Amino acid sequence: MSAGSLRNRPWDLPILEPLSAVSRMVAFVSHDLRHPLTAILANAEFLTRSDISEMQRSDTYQEIRWAIDRMNEMVSSLLECSKGRDTLRPAARNIVDTVEHAIRMTSVRQEFPRITIKHLHEGLHVGWFDSSRLERVVANLALNACEAVSPDSGQIVITTTGNRACLQIGVWDNGPGIPPTIQDSVFQPFVSCGKARGSGLGLAIAKKIVEDHGGVICLDGKCETGTLFRITIPFANDCDTTVVRNNSLQLPSDTITNSEEEVPRRHMDT
């Protein structure tokens, strides 16, 4: 190979072999560790201010502790994967708390001070899922949305609807949308668009976690404005006969779809 051809050679070379399970897990966890790390830095800087109240200081300290717990869980998942297993840990959890944590972890970033994130919830709050991992899904989708919208007028709406049959999550933003040329491949690793530093792993991680829950995630191609991702996963509560098989949740065929335990719509702005 001549010096000229070497100089003109593209260095962003394609991945010729698919990632092994361990390599994929390392890439996914390395990507998601940045979320709590960024939250810790932003909250630590907030604690240096002299004009915050003791309640604000205590709340911020708890956010730091929570972010560290999330990092420990992700590091532990790497250890499990190195031993040839990766275990989903579903339990009875509150989806509103899970989404709020993901929103706070995203909105605390200094580059998004004027972006509005709203959360609308309907139906059951408590269901059977791995809150730590589902939080990573929402955080990845919210971060992608924040990076896509205008820093001055960006709007993101996260909707959650829970009943005994399933949990539905929607994440919408008023950004420019995803180009049609890559819409069919957005969930593949290393596919990215419009982000100078994007790794292209956020949606691949979200898809893996959703499918581990026995659910589905899709890009809504009928959305006329912005971008909308839809997620559906099983959501039986701890009194139902949900079982865990092969690291994914499965519902009995006679699961009730209409619950009388509906709660009023809850609206949150960040």
Lowest mean pLDDT among 32-41, 164-173, 205-214, 239-248: 239-248
Q: What is the reported pLDDT for 2?
A: 46
Q: What is the reported pLDDT for 223?
A: 85
Percent of the chain clearing pLDDT 70 (strictly above): 68
The residue written with tokens 């040839």 in the block is 84
Which range among 25-29, 100-104, 192-196 has the greatest average pLDDT?
100-104
Residue 234 has pLDDT above 50, yes or no: yes
pTM score of the predicted model: 0.67
The per-residue pLDDT for range 131-185, each reduced to its tens digit, is 989 999 999 999 999 989 999 999 999 999 999 889 999 999 999 998 888 888 8
For residue 63, CA distances in Å to 43, 83, 156, 231, 256 come to 8, 31, 22, 26, 37
The strand pair at 155-162 and 116-123 is best described as: parallel
Residue 177, CA atoms < 13 Å, CB-side half-sphere: 11
Question: Is pLDDT larger for residue 72 or for residue 167?
Answer: 167
Q: What is the reported pLDDT for 24?
A: 65
Mean pLDDT, rounded, for 17-22: 54
Residue 264 has pLDDT above 60, yes or no: no
Q: What is the CA radius of gyration of the chain?
A: 20
The per-residue pLDDT for range 143-158, each reduced to its tens digit, is 999 989 999 999 999 9
Classify residue 148 by its DSSP letter.
H
Residues 6+ positions from 265 with CB-CB distance below 8 Å: 120, 121, 122
Mean pLDDT, rounded, for 228-239: 82
Q: Is the CB of residue 95 less than 8 Å from the CB of residue 71? A: no
Residues 6+ positions from 205 with CB-CB distance below 8 Å: 28, 31, 32, 136, 137, 140
The per-residue pLDDT for range 42-62, each reduced to its tens digit, is 888 888 888 889 888 888 888
Question: Is pLDDT larger for residue 175 or for residue 10?
Answer: 175
Residue 270 has pLDDT above 90, yes or no: no
Lowest mean pLDDT among 197-201, 212-216, 243-247: 243-247
